[in-house]
Structure 1
């Protein structure tokens, strides 16, 4: 193994044992990385080579940064981390900020300095931050100035956190440095840990997923290169937080890899996103199915005609949403399945290869198969567990759940899928969302998609609830579109509608109208909360 640059070896010493680590495959020319690699420096090198130092890179609502300035400012920030805050390679750095140019600049700086980025959602409270800080033994924090209070409060129960610097102080310190003084990025090994991404909590306690410098490049050189296919002419927008790897890839890594620009909305919310698309003539959009449904309601009031590339992840994209977006915009959404454990999307399809309702095929660089309960591969047409491997893979930080996720070198994502005769993978359900009623297996997403095809339904979620006679029955939760009122008559109408769309035994025997569905801050449905209240 190449010599690690990490002087602080906490992460290296708390990786899973070799027998529990995934097989990783680098059998394509674009994945042949050198032994020494710093992802922050390499991404900026690519951006400058592709677009030049004067090209737009990061666009806030009131300021723009060129790629040359991103490189220079992030180097100054890295110098401050090392010289003023005492960072040594391998230290973990909490990055707590909104989707903004500052957060992206700080992310590049931490990598250049040899730190391990631990980015967190701006809406997390002190108790939630303390869990992350203590799990990752974080020593340093770079914090957006309006969010300092929560981090300072978390510090009281997180003794390893000794250095906190807010964005205003960091920016002032960077500006005060003499011009012309550079910073040599730390000579990290390609597999040195570069970030710890914490899962978004759809099933409870978050897990810390460790990814190295070459993993960051690999998501750009697989899904980014072969499916998304951005160019330096693109302007990217999106809703997923940089704190999660879907947002990190879409809003930071993929644009940098080709010299494209990213425009950040001035505040959360889909109205602000739609306005940002129209104002900057954005060409590429990253959001979840929930986001596409919300934007459909705003399409008449905002000009979305500049969009050319639209990517969805976070949860399965219903065919009804895909078709409605295509009808409204002329753009077919790129769906994909990824995971924090795998860093980004590993099954997808783009362009003419898209089949609405299907997730797609393995992204170049990855392999996938359907397996039974004993780990044996299943033929096309059979339903089973999804297993995948490629250049990235799951490495939990000091977590007993590693043995369940990685088996025989394959990553078991927790999803139930079906493979068709043409090699397309079709999502059935999360393994813990499969409903067994009277001996029949029913996938919750299939029933949800059927409900969404009714004009009264804005959002739908389905779970299984206990039933003495059938073991479980399907229960649906529906958010109505404006102009529709909850009633017993509408409930019967929706049940009849589902029976006409899919096999009648799958219809929701119980159905509740709700004002909103429980979701994570990234827009993922939290079915476990529905189950707890059912």
Structure 2
């Protein structure tokens, strides 16, 4: 590896042993980068130098009206904020900084400023509760947090030494999207407009993106500066094919790598613009397309199903490309959207471990029932339990290699995800003779609902904290609107009796214990859970009930 610019070497020190790394395919001109590289400089400074200074970079709403922040203005905001991180907060290269906020200009500025200062960004979704934030902060040894001023309550508990969710490593919280005296914007206002980016190595860690496994314990996926650029230079370049004239919009949070790419990095890489608006609904997303004349949309199949019948009410003639990822895209949804909009969906499968989409197809390359083929730069195969390739048309485990891959933060599950140099995302698929990949199911117990990954055991743990619950088992069941929904089988304690009021009470209890999107939309009361002779819950038996 290239000598690190990090003063705080925690991230590199906690990479997996090199014998557990996947094989990286870097002999590709698309992903040939210099040894010293700061991805924020590449995405922003170089785009300004390329002649885009006065073009819109980020659209947002100010007092209900569209407002464009140009590339030149965005660069100044980022540089001034980077000065605050270094000079006021005293952060050093390699320090981990947690980001908490919705999709706003301010969130994007904080993200880019932290990268430019050589920090390791740990983005989190606004919906996370104290328990989940503590897991992330403790795992990544986060020392500082940048938080939207409207979302500080849970985070403050993590910094309170008297609170059960106290995180001893978290020393300071700086708010943004706020006009108070100590906010990021206020402190940045009088800082210089120039900032010399940290001279990071291309393989310095710049991002720890957390995902949840079936045990509910968070896994930190560490990515290098070169990985952020690689996600911009493969799927977008070969499949999406954006230009500087494009306007992006969509729903995935910047805290998801799906959103980080589609809502920020992809447009910046080509000098395009992006619309960042909070809390979009299917209706307001279509309003956004009409109002901003957007051309490229990123969202989950759930939104496409809900938007299709609304299309006659909106002028979406500007929209040219729509990308679906985050959950399985049913053929019925693809057809519904195509018939309603005239646009052929770009489906894709990716993952936090590989940072973004590695299988996809667009336009005439789309094949019915298939996700697509390996994005140029990646290689995929289908293997059995012994890692031997299976015949074409045979269902097996998806295995992937490319310029990006899995580096879990100090996690023994690295050995499960990476075998023989291949990344194993945990998907059951088959491949045809032309290399098209056909998705079958998740190979583990992860529930994917409306684009969100939900751990069944984590929901079980929340339910078990309610006094009425003796036992419970949680699975995902198919749903036409959301792909999957969370279903809980509950055994009650005496003297509780099953009724609709108790269902609502349990659902609200889960919403207040973990992120609200994880709550069970269906609860079925049963007398006993199916278990093995050793007492393990038989989830497969629940799925047949």
Smaller-chain TM-score bracket: 0.7 to 0.9
Q: 2:253 aligns with which of 241, 245, 260?
A: 241
Cα distance in 2, alignment partners of residues 331 and 523 from structure 1 = 29
Q: Is the 1:265–1:272 Cα contact (8 Å) retained in structure 2?
A: no
Q: Does structure 1 retain, via aligned residues, the 8 Å contact 2:308–2:341?
A: no
CA shift in 2, pair 1:50/1:380, >3 Å: farther
Residue of structure 1 in register with 2:304 after alignment: 292
Is 2:57 the counterpart of 1:57?
A: yes
| Partner residue, 2:184 | 170
Give the CA deviation at 1:183: 0.9
1:269 positional shift: 2.2
Q: Matched residues in 1 for 2:173 and 2:232: separation?
A: 31
Equivalent residues of 2:127, 2:516 under 8 A apart: no
Q: Is the 8 A contact 2:102 2:278 kept in 1?
A: no
What secondary structure, in the 3-state scheme, does the structure 2 residue paired with 1:61 have?
Answer: strand
CA contact (8 A) 1:51 1:232 kept: no
State the distance in 2 between where 1:113 and 1:321 align. Answer: 43
Matched, 1:31 2:31: yes
Q: How does 1:49-448 map to 2 (within 5 A)?
A: 49-50=49-50, 52-62=52-62, 63-156=67-160, 157-167=166-176, 168=178, 169-178=183-192, 181-199=193-211, 204-432=216-444
Q: Matched residues in 2 for 1:476 and 1:5: separation?
A: 47
Q: Structure 1 26/529 Cα, relative in aligned 2: closer, same or farther at 3 Å?
A: farther
Per the normalisation by structure 1, the TM-score is 0.82
Displacement, 1:47?
2.5
State the aligned residue count. 465
8 Å contact from structure 2 (residues 325, 347) kept in 1:
yes
Range that drifts further, 318-327 or 297-306: 297-306
CA distance in 2, matches of 1:194, 1:303: 40
CA distance in 2, matches of 1:28, 1:199: 28
In structure 2, C-alpha distance between the alignment counterparts of 1:309 and 1:53, rounded to whole Å? 26
Would the alpha carbon gap of residues 527 and 382 (structure 1) be closer, same or farther in structure 2, given more than 3 Å must change? farther
Query: 1:193·1:210 contact (CA, 8 Å) conserved in 2?
Result: yes
**C-alpha distance in structure 1 between counterparts of 2:477 and 2:129, whole Å:** 31
CA offset digits 1:73-93 (Å, max 9, x no partner): 101101110011011000001
Q: Could you list the runs of 5+ residues in structure 2 that have no partner in the other structure?
A: 161-165, 450-455, 457-474, 483-502, 525-538
CA shift in 2, pair 1:18/1:315, >3 Å? same
Contact 2:302–2:481 (8 Å) recurs in 1: no
Residues 223-245 of structure 1: CA deviation (Å, up to 9, x unaligned): 11111111111110111100010
CA offset at residue 342 of structure 1? 0.4
- Tell me the distance in 1 between the aligned counterparts of 2:187 and 2:97: 18
In structure 2, relative to structure 1, the CA distance for the partners of 1:200 and 1:247 (3 Å cut) is farther
Contact 2:58 2:68 in 1 (8 A): yes
Is the contact between residue 135 and residue 218 of structure 2 (CA under 8 Å) also seen in structure 1? no
Residues 203-212 or 321-330, more deviating: 203-212
Shift of 1:204: 2.4
Instruction: State the SS of the aligned residue for 1:230.
Output: coil
Q: In 2, are the aligned partners of 1:61 and 1:266 still within 8 Å (CA)?
A: no
The within-5 A match list for 1:4-19 is 4-19=4-19
Structure 1 pair 527–230 and aligned structure 2 pair: CA distance change class (3 A): farther
Q: CA deviation at 1:377?
A: 0.8
SS of alignment partner, residue 432 of structure 1: coil
Deviation at residue 61 of structure 1 after TM alignment:
1.1
Deviation at 1:302, TM superposition (A): 2.4
Supply the RMSD in Å over aligned alpha carbons. Answer: 3.0
Distance of aligned partners of 1:479 and 1:419 in 2 relative to their CA distance in 1, 3 Å threshold: closer
Distance 1:524 1:155, change over 3 A: closer
Secondary structure (helix, strand or coil) at the match of 1:8 reads: coil
Alignment partner of 1:297: what SS?
Answer: helix
The Cα shift of 1:351 comes to: 1.7
Kindly state the Cα deviation for residue 100 of structure 1 after the two structures are TM-superposed.
0.8
Cα 1:329–1:479 change in 2 (3 A) is closer
Kindly tell me: are residues 150 and 523 of structure 1, through their superposed partners in 2, closer, same or farther at Cα, counting changes over 3 Å? closer
Q: Any stretches of 5+ residues in structure 1 without a counterpart? A: 435-443, 449-462, 464-473, 482-513
- SS at the partner of 2:399? strand
Residues in 1 aligned to 2:379 and 2:34: alpha-carbon distance in whole angstroms: 23
In 1, Cα distance between equivalents of 2:476 and 2:234: 39
